[in-house]
Structure 1
Amino acid sequence: MIHVELSREDPWPETDWDALATRAARAAIERTPHGELLTTPALVELSVRLTSDDEVRALNLQYRGKDKPTNVLSFPMIQPDLLDTVTQNSDAGAGGASTTGGEVLLGDIVLAQGVCAAEAVERGVSVEDHATHLMVHGVLHLLGYDHLEDADADAMEEIERQALAGLGIADPYRVRED
């Protein structure tokens, strides 16, 4: 069972972010080989923090050595190779501190409001749709996906396209013709 713990800080607008984050997480997970995380008896938890550019900038500097805000940061709490163990035996304690008593903590996702809003305007989409894309992207990082190599980026983007299409959101990687 998946549970998303969400916190929203100003200047993020009021909306049903909890439902949006849960749908994004489910859509991402179900399109990966880790789809069983959605039906395992274990409580599978992740957190999403919607916060300011300043907070994301500080986190980006602290953890990535980059002194600027970015759209989304992901902090995995379980090794990707241990995720299969979780779905096979939710009480096995795979990952040490990442699982306890049938609970799996996937990790944390943090989104920067100003960066997200500016990118949404640039792409001609709503902030909610762009934030959904960033949440899907962040969940995939929690599951061990990355985009450092072209082949990995292509695979990750395809999962994002499928997840977003399932949520009724247009392909964020299509080339816009204005």
Structure 2
Amino acid sequence: MANAPKLDLTVQYAMAKDGLPGRAQFRAWARAALQHDVVATLRIVDADEGRALNRDYRGKDYATNVLTFEYGPDASLAGAPLAGDVVVCAPVVVREAAEQGKDPLAHYAHLTVHGMLHLQGYDHETDAEAAVMEALESFVMMRMGFPDPYQYHE
């Protein structure tokens, strides 16, 4: 039996932690999405930092829900852990959850899983890639006891 992937995750709060999930929750959600060893930082930010990062790194001048920065994408081939940062913009998560009729906690979990999958090489640029990534996200979320994030009622 293969060893379970290892996670070395630092959780940073770049804003007041009131009402946000705790470090243990973020770690559990990140671990649930692991397929490879990962060393990462998960940073929870406000709208200003989220917008600045999205503008500076993606050329899009608005705060988005989650950004993933991969470092050394071929590291797993050499047996080293994958490394990167996942940035979750709290105000966007809360707004989207309200708009989509979702529990904010479930949306935080989903975006953590989504970011960790990006870190491990998954993407959704094409319909085929999106289908694979969304199916995996749904599987991980339901395995953790959350509803399928792509089956919501507006």
Asked if structure 2 preserves the Cα contact closer than 8 Å seen for 1:4 and 1:18, the reply is no
Aligned to 1:6: 11
CA offset at residue 9 of structure 1?
3.0
Aligned to 2:32: 27
Alignment of 1:12-161 (within 5 A): 12-30=17-35, 34=36, 37=37, 44-79=38-73, 81-86=74-79, 90=80, 104=81, 106-161=83-138
Deviations 1:51-78 (A, max 9, x none): 1011010001100011111000000112
Larger Cα-atom Rg: 1
CA distance in 2: counterparts of 1:105 and 1:11, whole angstroms: 29
Structure 1 unaligned residues grouped into runs of 5+: 38-43, 91-103
Q: Distance in 2 between matches of 1:151 and 1:22?
A: 29
Larger displacement relative to structure 2 (14-23 or 116-125): 14-23
Distance in 2 between the 1:130 and 1:55 partners?
A: 20
CA contact (8 A) 1:129 1:169 kept: yes
After superposing on structure 2, the runs of 4+ consecutive aligned residues of structure 1 that deviate more than 4 Å are none
Structure 2 contact 66–87 (Cα < 8 Å) conserved: yes
With normalisation by structure 2, the TM-score equals 0.88
TM-score by length of 1: 0.77
Counterpart residue number, 1:96: none
Gaps of 5+ in 2: 1-5
User: How many pairs were matched up?
Assistant: 149
| Superposition RMSD in Å | 1.8
